[in-house]
Amino acid sequence: MEKLTIRDADVAGKRVFVRVDFNVPLADGKVTDDSRIRAAIPTILTLVHAGARVILASHLGRPNGKVSDSLRLRPVGQRLTELLRRNVPVTGDALGLGTEDALKRMRPGEILLLENLRFHAEEEANDPAFAATLASYADIYVNDAFGSAHRAHASTVGVPKLLPAYAGLLMERELMMLSKLLESPDRPFAAILGGAKVSDKIRVIDHLLTKVDLLILGGGMANTFLLAQGKSIGKSLAEPDRVQDAQRILATAEKNRVRVVLPIDVIVAKEVTRGTEYKTLPAEKIPASWHIVDLGKASQDQVVEALSDVKTVFWNGPLGVFEIPSFAHGTNAVARLLADRAEHGATVVIGGGDIVASITQQGLADKMTHISTGGGASLEFLEGRELPGVTVLLDRPKPPKLASKPKAPSKPKVAAKPAAKPTAAKATAAKAATSKPVAKAVAKPVAKTVAKPAAKAVAKPAAKPTAAKAATSKPTANAAAKPAVKATAAKATTSKPAAKATTSKAPAKTAAKPAVKASPTKPAAKATPRPAAGKATTKPTKPRARTEKPA
Ligand code: 3PG
Ligand code: MG
Distance 342 CA to ligand 1 centre (A): 28
Let me know: does 93 contact 502? Beta carbons within 8 Å.
Answer: yes
Residue 28, exposed/middle/buried by CB under 10 A (0-12, 13-18, 19+)?
Answer: exposed
Query: Which ligand minimizes its atom distance to the CA of 23?
Result: 1
Structure confidence at residue 406 (pLDDT): 53
**DSSP assigned state of 397:** P
pLDDT of 357 reads 83
pLDDT band for position 353 (cuts 50, 70, 90): confident
Residue 353 CA: which ligand 1 atom is closest? 2
Rg (CA), the chain: 25
Question: What 3-state class would DSSP assign to 433?
Answer: helix
Share of the chain above pLDDT 70, in %: 73
In one letter, which amino acid is 269? A
Ligand 1 centroid to residue 150 C-alpha, Å: 9
Q: What is the mean pLDDT of residues 367-374?
A: 96
549 touches ligand 1 (CB under 6 Å): no
| 152 CB near ligand 1 (under 6 Å) | no
In the three-class reduction of DSSP (H, G, I as helix; E, B as strand; rest coil), residue 430 is classed as helix
Q: Residue 358's pLDDT is what?
A: 87
The whole-angstrom separation of Cα 114 and Cα 134 is 10
What pLDDT is recorded for position 403? 66
| Residue 504 DSSP label | B
Q: Point out the residues that are catalytic.
A: 36, 197, 353, 376
**How many Cβ atoms from other residues are within 10 Å of residue 256's Cβ?**
13
**Side chain identity, residue 154:** A
Q: Is there a contact between 219 and 320 (Cβ–Cβ < 8 Å)? A: yes
Binning pLDDT at 50, 70 and 90, where does residue 352 land?
confident
* Phi–psi pair at 514, nearest 5 degrees: -80, 170
Per-residue pLDDT of 91-121, as tens digits, reads 999 999 999 999 999 999 999 999 999 999 9
In the reported structure, the alpha carbon of residue 244 is separated from the centroid of ligand 1 by a whole-number distance in angstroms of: 29
Question: Whole-angstrom Cα distance, residue 159 to residue 154?
Answer: 6
**Integer angstrom CA distances of residue 345 from 73, 309, 311, 446:** 38, 11, 7, 50
Reference 201, options 258, 234, 239; nearest CA is 239
Ligand 1 and 62: CB distance under 6 A: yes
For residue 356, the model assigns a pLDDT of 86
Q: What is the largest CA-CA distance in the chain?
A: 80
Q: Can you give the pLDDT at residue 136?
A: 98
Q: pLDDT band for 488, please (50, 70, 90 cuts).
A: very low
Backbone angles phi and psi of 457, in degrees to 5: -65, -35
Best mean pLDDT range from 388-397, 413-422, 500-509, 531-540: 388-397
pLDDT tens-digit readout, 3-37: 999 999 999 999 999 999 999 999 999 999 899 99
The string of pLDDT tens digits covering residues 408-459 is 544 443 333 333 333 333 333 333 333 333 333 333 333 333 333 333 334 3
Within 10 Å of residue 495's Cβ, how many Cβ atoms?
A: 8
DSSP track, 143-196: E--GGGTT---IIIIIGGGTS-EEE-HHHHHHHHHHHHHHH---SSEEEEE-SS
pLDDT at residue 235 greater than cutoff 70: yes
Closest to 549 in 3D by CA, of 370, 382, 375: 375
| Average of per-residue pLDDT values in the chain | 80
Query: The pTM is what?
Result: 0.74
pLDDT tens digits for 117-137? 999 999 999 999 999 999 999
Does the beta carbon of 147 sit less than 6 angstroms from any atom of ligand 1? yes
